[in-house]
Chain A
Amino acid sequence: MSLLGKYFKGWRFRTSRPALEQGSEVDVFIAESNGTSGRAYIGDTELIVEGAGPDCIEKQVRVRVTEFDEAAASGRGEFVEVVGESSYDR
């Protein structure tokens, strides 16, 4: 991104319920897990991540989005891999 572009990025009112694109891959922090699946909040959008166990909590993981309901702002996806740590623990 250009220098000027960085300054003008984000001059907008961003929704609290962002949409995700089905079939895309996103990197998100997992907030909670029930043992077999994880849950990530992107704003108030909820994404259930199948295969994201307790080990993934507060880690950034890559998720392949398999379904997304824009009206309910919720979706499901498959765990691909862990891609990052929380800055909290550093």
Chain B
Amino acid sequence: MSANGESPSDEGAADQFIGGETEGGPTVEFYGGRGMSAFPIAFFIVWAIVQTALWRIGDTGGLIVGILVGLIVGMFFARGDWKDYANTIFEGMTQPVAVTAIVAWIWAGMFAQLLQDGGFVGGLVWLADAAGVGAALFPAITFILAAVFTTGIGTGYGSSVAFVGLFFPAGVLLGANPVLLFGAILSGAIFGDNLAPVSDTTIVSAVTQDADIGGVVASRFKYVIVAAVIAFVGYVVAGGMMGGLEVGAEAQAIFLESSEAIGLVHVISMLAVIGAAVAGRHIVEAISWGIVIAIVFNLVFGLASLGDIVMFNAPEDAPLAQPLESLPILTIVEDADAVGVTGSLMSGVAGFLELSILVLLIIGAAQIMIRGGAFEVLLEWSIENLATNVRNAELTMVGTAALINAIITINTAAEVAIGPYISKIGERFNLNGYRRANILDGQTAAMGYIFPWSGGVLAAYGAMQQLPGDYEWFEQSMIVTPIDVVPYVFQGWLLVAVFIIAALTGFGREYVTDRETEEVARV
């Protein structure tokens, strides 16, 4: 082509366009070449597969040990001064992307717990009953309610657990197919995890692609809703075809036992957060408003007491405990093990503490891979061999994001690791931040809830195993084996399919020249 008409005498060399991948050497060198810098992450992936898939231990603390051992062993492969290796871990851990996500999880965790403790799920159950939902329709309705709930609270893990605890036994009791019902709950979690402005994966996808959260949510609606409409029809049709289990009718009262309409007042708390976030308010501000409103509703409507929200459990010998015992937030406990702070705010935060540490360490290890050159090897190979045009580049983004998320149990952690890679491939073809974030998060949300070792499935399966102890009529045989649910997570499979079709056809594609993402500093 006539690209370089005015170039200097050496026209052959001037025609040679060179990309950024060869610019600058790695700052940490490894014995065995650049690929060895992937050792800490690779070790962690193997550890995670063995721990969660082969041995079925969904313990985040164990994964933290896995990444720590990977980082320590990896250091022995580093050439030269190991101080550079150590500093690279710090460089990764102190990236704004990590702390931004952690701050948002902690806020979202408190909000989610306030809604759960304020009887929101009970309110939804009441509504389903009042509307006369039968066994065949129950999975489809559960899908919608789980989707709405997750969209409000932003944590698919939390809502999987909550819905398996409440909707699953209710549906089984009504005669709905348990495997389909489990799939519907996971599908709802995927919908919300993908779309909610307060979802950890939504936040990570936006931040890593330099996009504002409100714009990301609005622009991904088209993919999510197309998949969801088909998934809903799928659950309606499958619900009519797949029968349920025989359960004694005497226990149907359980269905309404914990269900009160007043919990639905938290729809307003949810809408406040969604509205504020989509309107572009800082995510901390948006969720703080949700927290304030949820606390007011819980107290005014008697859904939870002040002590349920925060409670100091002090020992008997504490100097100021006895005189202030009348305070509603103070209890004196005799048992030394019971000393501590409890309540919605505390348990909401606690759920994210281990995940926060894990994610910090994973992006420290990811930085080793980036500075050591393994990411460059992967990038150069896929840019040269796979991402040869914009369509193939998008298919490569879908495929790699899905693969990494299918392998790493905690989908947010996988997203943090693969985010920069999606950014690099997408920017090469000037795909805008919204499109990149949507491709990234579609696969992240979907793959986090499909396989037996996925975090969402593990959390929900854990909750299901408690049901035989909770209800006399619930037999051990009614528990769904995680591998059985894989084909029935319709929203997950459809979301991946929608993105493959979107890459092939250009549906929803936006370039940097079409629309710039808005200021990301709000986050």
Residues of A within 8 A of B (CB): 3, 6-7, 9-16, 18, 20, 26-29, 31-44, 46, 48, 50, 54, 57-58, 60, 72, 74, 76, 86-88, 90
Which of B8, B222, B433, B511 is within 8 Å of A14, CB to CB?
A: B511
Nearest Cβ distance between residue B220 and chain A, in whole angstroms? 10
Docked-complex contact B427 and A34, CB < 8 angstroms:
no
Question: Does residue B214 face the partner (Cβ distance < 8 Å to A)?
Answer: yes
Q: Taking CB as reference atom, which chain B residue is nearest A76? A: B3
A4 CA / B112 CA spacing, docked (Å): 27
Of the 9-residue stretches B11-19, B32-40, B51-59, B442-450, which lies at the interface with chain A? B11-19
B515: Cβ under 8 A from any A Cβ: yes
Say yes or no: is B250 at the interface (Cβ < 8 Å to chain A): no
8 Å CB contacts to A: which residues of B373-422? 389-391, 420
Check B510–A10 contact: CB distance below 8 A. yes
- Cα-based distance from A41 to B3 in the complex (angstroms): 13
* B340 beta carbon closer than 8 Å to chain A: no
Q: Are B1 and A34 in contact (CB under 8 A)?
A: no
From A6, A14, A26, A31, B219 is in contact (CB under 8 Å) with A6
Q: When the two chains form their complex, are residues B18 and A3 in contact, meaning their CB atoms are under 8 A apart?
A: no
Nearest-neighbor residue (CB-CB) of A42 within chain B: B430
**For residue A14, which residue of chain B has the nearest CB?**
B509
Q: Decide: A9 near B219, CB < 8 A? Known: A29-B512, A58-B20, A87-B423.
A: yes
Q: Is the CB of B18 within 8 A of A41?
A: no
The interface centre, meaning the residue of B19, B209, B390, B424 with most chain A CB atoms within 10 A of its CB, is: B390
In the complex, the chain A residue whose C-beta lies closest to that of B421 is A88
Residue B208 is within 8 A (CB to CB) of chain A in the complex: yes
Binds A, one of B138-146, B251-259, B316-324, B500-508: B500-508
Pairwise interchain contact A88-B424, C-beta atoms closer than 8 A = yes
Would A39 and B3 count as touching, CB distance under 8 A? yes
Given contact pairs A6-B214, A37-B4, A88-B420, A32 touches B390 in the complex (Cβ within 8 A): no
Which B residues touch A10, using CB under 8 A? 219, 222, 434, 508-510
Contact status A28-B390, CB under 8 Å: no
The docked-state distance in angstroms from the alpha carbon of A39 to that of B20 is 11
CB distance from A32 to the nearest CB of B (A): 4
**Interface pair A42/B507, CB less than 8 Å apart:** no
A87 touches B3 (CB 8 A): no
Residues of A contacting B511 in the complex (Cβ-Cβ under 8 angstroms): 14, 18, 42-43
Between B1, B20, B424, the greatest number of chain A beta carbons within 10 A of the residue's beta carbon is seen for B20
The CA of A31 and the CA of B424, in the complex, are separated in Å by: 10
- The docked-state distance in angstroms from the alpha carbon of A39 to that of B19 is 9
CA distance A43 to B1 in the complex (A): 18
In the complex, A37 Cα to B17 Cα: how many Å? 8
Chain B contact residues, CB within 8 Å of chain A: 1, 3-4, 6-8, 13-20, 23, 95-97, 208-210, 214-215, 218-219, 221-222, 278-279, 389-391, 420, 423-424, 427-431, 433-434, 505-516
Residue pairs across A and B with Cβ atoms less than 8 A apart, 12 shown, are A9-B515, A10-B508, A12-B507, A14-B510, A27-B512, A27-B516, A32-B20, A42-B430, A43-B509, A44-B429, A60-B512, A87-B210
Beyond the given A29-B427, A43-B431, A88-B420, please list 16 additional residue pairs across the A-B interface where CB-CB is below 8 A: A3-B218, A6-B214, A9-B218, A11-B508, A12-B507, A14-B507, A14-B509, A14-B510, A16-B391, A42-B429, A57-B18, A57-B19, A87-B420, A87-B433, A88-B423, A90-B210
Chain B positions within 8 Å of A39 at CB level: 3, 17
* Nearest-neighbor residue (CB-CB) of A72 within chain B: B1
Of A31, A36, A60, A90, the contact of B428 (CB 8 Å cutoff)? A31
Chain A min CB distance to B341 (Å)? 36
B7 touches A36 (CB 8 A): yes
On whether the beta carbons of A15 and B1 are closer than 8 Å, the reply is no
Contacts of A46 on B, CB cut-off 8 Å? 1
Complex: A14 Cα to B432 Cα, angstroms = 13
Contact of B513 among A26, A72, A90 (CB under 8 A): A26
- Whether A13 lies near B423 (C-beta < 8 A) is no
Structural contact, A57 and B515, CB atoms closer than 8 A: no
Q: Measured between alpha carbons, how far is A14 from B420 in the docked complex, in Å? A: 24
Known contacts A41-B390, A88-B423: does B430 contact A29 (CB below 8 Å)? Answer: yes
Is the Cβ of A90 less than 8 Å from the Cβ of B7? no
Closest 3 CB pairs of A and B: A6-B218, A32-B17, A87-B210
Say whether B209 contacts A87, CB under 8 Å: yes
Q: Are A88 and B427 in contact (CB under 8 A)?
A: yes
Name the A residues within 8 Å of B97 (CB-CB). Answer: 90
Q: How far is the CB of B81 from chain A (nearest CB, A)?
A: 23
Q: CA A58 – CA B17 in complex, angstroms?
A: 13
Known: A37-B4, A43-B511. A54 touches B23 (CB 8 A): yes
Q: Which of A3, A11, A43 contacts B430 (CB 8 A)?
A: A43
Measured between beta carbons, the chain A residues less than 8 angstroms from B428 are: 29, 31, 41
Q: Do B512 and A36 touch across chains, with their CB atoms under 8 A apart? A: no
- Find chain A residues with CB under 8 A from B4 CB: 34, 36-37, 48
Q: Known contacts A7-B221, A14-B509, A86-B424; decide if A34 and B15 are in contact (CB<8 Å).
A: yes
